[in-house]
Copies of this chain bind each other. A is one copy, B any other.
Amino acid sequence: MFSPVVKDTTRLSAQDWARAALQAIADGGLPAVAVEPLARTLGVTKGSFYAHYRNRDELVAAALTEWARSHGDAGLAGLAAIADPAERLRELLDTVVHAVRPLAPSVQLSLLGDRNNPQVKDAVQQVNQARLRLMTSTYIELGLPPDRAESRARVAYAAILGLLQLAQTDPHAPDPDTLAEEAAAVFLPADLR
């Protein structure tokens, strides 16, 4: 018995459609989630799609829910498990700055183009809140008073988002190590100034 990495000739599930939808979002935003093109890339015709979802909107909702789930508290479990707050923060910065991870951030960036859609707004908000909560409590653990911890977390998280954004549009390799160093110097409050 061997587990196939790619679901070869087997039939598709609702999850497969949702995953394909997320990939489409990463590539072209919400408008790219179109039933017929997705069916083509999946190697089927659209007829079978309606066995899984009632309409396109339901697919979009499913994809967004899945994304919000896996990138909200669920996706932060690994980081949250780090006991030492300073190390946790450094790990977070390192991860982000070094990451040219292909799919994960692309979805969030693409969703910005469709931020007027209420469903999108909810999903993005949910993910952002979870991350901000983690970073805020980290800064509190580091000794900042709660209100300062909150705004500090906000600025730091904003920088993370912005760096991802720049990484996706900028061809100039900014040397990750230099960036990580700089980010650490700015956001790791060794002195808690």
Query: Contact residues of A with B, CB < 8 Å?
Result: 27-31, 109-116, 121, 124-125, 128, 147-148, 150-152, 154-163, 165-166, 168-171, 174-175, 178-179, 181-183, 185-187, 193
Contacts and interface: CB of A to CB of B under 8 A. Distances in A.
A187 to B, nearest CB: 7
A152 B121 CA distance: 31
A119 to B, nearest CB: 13
A157 B129 CA distance: 22
Number of copies of this protein chain within its complex: 2
Contact of A182 (B27, B152, B183): B152
Given A113-B113, A187-B186, A165 B154 contact: no
Given A27-B116, A147-B178, A152-B186, 5 more contacts: A29-B113, A115-B169, A158-B160, A158-B161, A165-B165
